């Protein structure tokens, strides 16, 4: 029997977009799949869409679990889903994105089953602008894109953020570090790096060829919204602290290496804040804010 793939879908006000994602999962050629849809307190018709698709997935032979919670953010929704999964492998697409072809699950699981030294599969996304319809393919430029991508994940050395649905990971490796089956809950959108860092630290990553995932770039997407300068500072500092806490969970990472990596993270976020401080006032404000928080120690 094929190993089970768990699909956690955190959903918040994506009723307009969710059918496209669910349809792209329904046409997958891989047979052993469980879907866990977590409605994060949506105020639109997201819950109705989730309920409508239940019979379609059951007819296909996929397990389908619907969970609701009060709005608490993506990380909390992921944690809710992690309590339900029973699969050997895990993927967690955003509710407004979708898969490009019907073989991506099959190819990803096959790659991992053929190499027990790998705990992650990465495939390439395409960004689709909702307003203009323009499309651009993304290919990673990380130095070690065919083996260990740990520092690529940690320091974002590739040319794109970490898309949620374009990685499939080995659950046993994830839960080796998160024994309570929970990542850190935060309003900052940091679930992807929290899920990927532990599984890429001491394991190889396989790369699938071709464009396999579509990212919808839309006004209002949580990871693309423009923020005030102070909010941006807070988010960056939250991100930095969350990454350092995630590194602490990797108990078998050398202490000296961990310390050096934390310094690289702090140095990187200091640089980001300075670059985003687009006026002299913001430069001074950002610098003082950074020192006040005692980030660079």
The domain ranges of the chain are 5-217, 229-296
Pick the residue with more confidence: 147 or 178?
178
Tokens (6 digits) for 206: 């396989």
| CATH superfamily of the 5-217 domain | Spore Coat Polysaccharide Biosynthesis Protein SpsA; Chain A (3.90.550.10)
Confidence of residue 225 (pLDDT cuts 50, 70, 90): very low
- pLDDT by residue (tens digit) across 23-32? 999 999 999 9
pLDDT > 70: what percent of the chain?
84
Q: Tell me the pLDDT band of 157, cut-offs 50, 70 and 90.
A: low
Residue 227, pLDDT > 60, answer: no
Q: Which residues, 6+ apart, have CB-to-CB distance to 185 below 8 Å?
A: 72, 73, 75, 76, 79
Amino acid 268: pLDDT:
83
- Measured over the CA atoms of residue 143, residue 146, residue 148 and residue 152, the dihedral's sign is positive
- At 4-21, the pLDDT tens digits run 999 999 999 999 999 999
Of the pLDDT bands very low, low, confident and very high (cuts 50, 70, 90), residue 141 is low
> Own/partner pairs for 14-17, CB < 8 Å, 24+ apart?
14/42, 14/44, 14/46, 14/94, 14/95, 14/96, 15/42, 15/44, 15/45, 15/46, 15/48, 15/49, 16/44, 17/95, 17/96, 17/216
Share of the chain above pLDDT 90, in %: 65
Average pLDDT rounded to a whole number, residues 202-212 = 91
Q: How far is CA 93 from CA 129, 255, 268, 278, in A?
A: 18, 33, 27, 33
> Chain-wide mean pLDDT for the chain?
87
């Amino acid at each position: 029997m094929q190993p089970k793939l768990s699909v956690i879908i955190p959903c918040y006000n994506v009723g307009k977009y969710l059918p496209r994602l669910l349809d792209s999962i329904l046409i997958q050629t891989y047979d052993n799949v469980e879907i866990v849809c977590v409605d994060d307190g949506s105020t639109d018709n997201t819950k109705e869409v989730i309920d409508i698709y239940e019979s379609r997935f059951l007819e296909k032979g996929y397990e389908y679990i619907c969970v609701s919670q009060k709005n608490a953010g993506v990380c909390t929704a992921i944690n809710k889903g992690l309590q339900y999964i029973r699969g050997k492998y895990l993927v967690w697409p955003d509710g407004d994105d979708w898969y490009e072809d019907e073989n991506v699950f099959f190819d990803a699981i096959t790659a991992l089953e053929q190499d027990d030294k790998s705990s992650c599969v990465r495939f390439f996304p395409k960004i689709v602008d909702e307003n203009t319809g323009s499309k651009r393919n993304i290919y990673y430029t990380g130095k070690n894109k065919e083996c260990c991508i740990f520092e690529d994940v940690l320091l974002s050395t590739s040319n794109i953020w970490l898309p949620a649905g374009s990685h499939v990971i080995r659950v046993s490796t994830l839960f080796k570090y998160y024994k309570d089956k929970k990542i850190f809950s935060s309003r900052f959108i940091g679930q992807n790096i929290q899920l990927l860092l532990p599984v890429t630290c001491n394991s190889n990553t396989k790369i699938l060829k071709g464009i396999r995932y579509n990212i919808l770039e839309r006004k209002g997407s949580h990871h693309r919204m423009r923020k005030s300068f102070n909010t941006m500072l807070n988010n960056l500092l939250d991100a930095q602290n969350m990454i350092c806490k995630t590194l602490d969970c990797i108990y078998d990472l050398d202490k000296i290496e961990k310390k050096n990596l934390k310094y690289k993270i702090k140095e990187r976020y200091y640089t980001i804040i300075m670059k985003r401080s687009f006026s002299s006032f913001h430069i001074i404000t950002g610098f003082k804010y950074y020192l006040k928080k005692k980030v660079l120690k």
